[in-house]
Structure 1
């Protein structure tokens, strides 16, 4: 096994992937590939860290946290809107709500404007435990953001917002 492969880790894999891909497929845009692969890997690392240090100890998955967060911010809210705002399918939200309801964190009721629609709210217990969890979640977010100085943090945030305002991002969001 070559030294490069023996020393390979989660982040250095990006360099190997780009090097091998561009040698095999010279027309590949290496800068675009590096951007997307780096964003994906960084986001996955952050999500894994938040899930394993903050949410799993409370019995929540990352998707469960996302549902709780949307409901917490928009309550009462229709389940289909939770799916849209969390970037998840309606079926996934429905399955998660079953678990969150069983655990006493979320309640559902028939919407007054449409008998087919379901509105979700956090229970008093859900409000309490979510607020405590979010304080810890944000503490961990600050740890991650601490790798950047104020100017870098502002620049990176602005660049990500610009990326997500692009026509490609808008089209991707419409497919949800």
Structure 2
């Protein structure tokens, strides 16, 4: 077994990116380190942001991040077929089905059989669900502002444009996605 370098002792979740880039650069010189840095940084920032939103807003509201995603879709686009909720929330149908059990139990959403196809299920936000998601979203948006205030409005606009470009470029490359 190889001993860990002393530098790895002081790493944290975000500083691990620089460490990983340096180590991969030494071991795999042909690796595209800029692509690695971009994807690893994007993933870690996103994970940190989601964890913050879930722990500061959504868990105190009584649901998980996936629960928020389902409620958010139902609030803005519902009522919808469960399959469509899964697509818009970026989740599997099985995950939405499991979540709707909890949301229904808590009185936040309902499920009904579609009249055109008895196998299909339509999900609807209840009045209590509407109140819960709109109340929680105000706090959610305050957290979003706290994160994005690190950038100027011009930088925010530039970053959104770059991320849109990345999404559309990835679609052209036909990546595997869950939706």
- TM-score normalised to structure 1 length: 0.94
In the alignment, structure 2 segments of 5+ residues that lack a partner are none
- The CA distance in 1 between the partners of 2:66 and 2:172, in whole Å, is 21
Alignment deviations for residues 21-51 of structure 1 (CA, whole Å, 9 cap, x no partner): 1111111100000000000000000000000
- The CA distance in 2 between the partners of 1:142 and 1:11, in whole Å, is 21
Equivalent residue in structure 2 for 1:4, among 2, 7, 25: 7
- The CA distance in 1 between the partners of 2:177 and 2:9, in whole Å, is 42
- The CA distance in 2 between the partners of 1:103 and 1:123, in whole Å, is 10
Equivalent residue in structure 1 for 2:55, among 52, 55, 76: 52
Q: Is the 8 A contact 2:91 2:178 kept in 1?
A: no
Q: Which residue of 1 aligns with 2:74?
A: 71
Larger mean CA deviation between 29-38 and 106-115 belongs to 106-115
- The CA distance in 2 between the partners of 1:115 and 1:170, in whole Å, is 37
Alignment deviations for residues 153-173 of structure 1 (CA, whole Å, 9 cap, x no partner): 010010001101114477236
Q: Is the 8 A contact 1:14 1:34 kept in 2?
A: yes
Q: Is the 8 A contact 1:78 1:118 kept in 2?
A: yes
Alignment deviations for residues 68-104 of structure 1 (CA, whole Å, 9 cap, x no partner): 1111111110000011111111000100000000000
Q: Which residue of 1 aligns with 2:106?
A: 103
- The CA distance in 1 between the partners of 2:172 and 2:56, in whole Å, is 30
Distance change >3 Å, CA 171–CA 130, structure 1 → 2: same
Larger mean CA deviation between 105-114 and 42-51 belongs to 105-114
Alignment of 1:83-122 (within 5 A): 83-122=86-125
Equivalenced residue count is 176
- The CA distance in 1 between the partners of 2:116 and 2:173, in whole Å, is 29
Equivalent residue in structure 1 for 2:169, among 153, 162, 166: 166
Q: Which residue of 2 aligns with 1:81?
A: 84
Cα drift, residue 115 of structure 1:
1.8
Q: Which residue of 1 aligns with 2:38?
A: 35
- TM-score normalised to structure 2 length: 0.93
Q: Which residue of 2 aligns with 1:135?
A: 138
